[in-house]
Amino acid sequence: MLERPQYIASEIYRHSTYGGTHPLSIPRVSTVTDLIHALGWMGEGQYHDSPVATPDQLARFHDRSYIEALWRAERDGDLPEDEKQRYHLGINGNPIHPTVFRRPATACGASIHAAGLLRDGGIVHSPAGGTHHGRPGQASGFCFFNDPVLAILGLLDQGLERIAYVDVDAHHGDGVQDAFEGEERVLTLSIHEEKRWPRTGAADDRAGGMARNMPVPSQLNDDEFLYLLDTVILPLVSEWEPQAVVLQGGCDGLADDPMSRMGLSNRALWQTVRSLKPVAPRFLCLGGGGYNPWAVARCWAGYWAILNDLEIPSQLPEDAQSVLSGLRWSHRLGRNPPAHWMTTLADEPRYGTIRQEIRAIARTVMQ
């Protein structure tokens, strides 16, 4: 069993972007990693340089023709129009960029490696993971491959019979749910904003019996999120008695994120990590959505602190502030970033009334 939490990342994310004004043109994994180092939170032996998944490893879930097309797209910088349409490459928010194969293959390599590290138990954090929309033969929703699926398959290969996948991204974890529809060894739970792309994951959608979905209205506050965590997610996961928990920790539901209309503070998402951490002997914490570089770095660094039982300071030390103050973001929210984005990790709580819609969702899911 792993003695301490392990962290997997790669330098590819420092030098690779989706290009132009794409929402994922921002630095994320590299900033989180730098912030953790600046805080002195990376102990000896905890950091792993991510391997790149091989075509054979990717083919455990993805079509070989698609894998080969993605490799050619990186090599040639383009694809014939018919292949773009077939594989959703170069269209629909899935740009062909200089690392369009290696970057997602690296995220998959990290998740596959994480499953191996967790064979005998422990905790792994891979912030580059969480590409939960990827389809066997198509890119979808900025996701070229589906690393959570590959991680779960790796855990199943070890003989595990009960795996809980919890997804707190603002967008429904459709690719993972569909991959394990009817698979009695994998329970998938997703809390996401209703009427937001991909517009799936209704509260009565059980996907063969092993899925539970919580589509929430806009402006979800911390109290509402924690109500669903306490009355739905934790009871269902605990009753399942999982041998492993995989958390897709997307943070685009934060109030400071431009890609949803949810209204959470990072404290609510941190509580998810804190609550799920002791539930199973194996815990894999992935990244996911997140389109404000300051919000992502502060939230995911907080994940790492909680996984290591570290105290989160009320005021960041100078080196950590320098990491955050060095960020640049062309979005209107980045033109005059508030001071607390540079000086603290924790957001102010976003309390609020628990609406009847939230209680109704809980009742539907728990029926």
Q: How many residues does this entry show for the chain?
A: 367
Give me 325's structure tokens.
């103050």
Angle between helices 266-276 and 293-307 (to 10 degrees): 30
- Rg of the chain (C-alpha set): 19
Measured CA to CA, the distance from residue 363 to residue 357 in angstroms comes to 10
Catalytic residues: 133
Write a three-state SS string for the chain.
CCCCCEEEECHHHHCCCCCCCCHHHCCCHHHHHHHHHHCCCCCCCCEEECCCCCHHHHCCCCCHHHHHHHHHHHHHCCCCHHHHHHHCCCECCECCCCCCCHHHHHHHHHHHHHHHHCCCCEEEEECCCCCCCCECCECECCECCCHHHHHHHHHHHCCCCCEEEEECCCCCCHHHHHHCCCCCCEEEEEEEECCCCCCCCCCCCCHHHCEEEEEECCCCCHHHHHHHHHHHHHHHHHHHCCCEEEEECCCCCECCCCCCCCCECHHHHHHHHHHHCCCCCEEEEECCCCCCHHHHHHHHHHHHHHHCCCCCCCCCCHHHHHHHHCCCCCCHHHCCCCCHHHHCCCCCCCCCCCCHHHHHHHHHHHC
Tell me the residue type at 218: S
Measured CA to CA, the distance from residue 52 to residue 8 in angstroms comes to 12
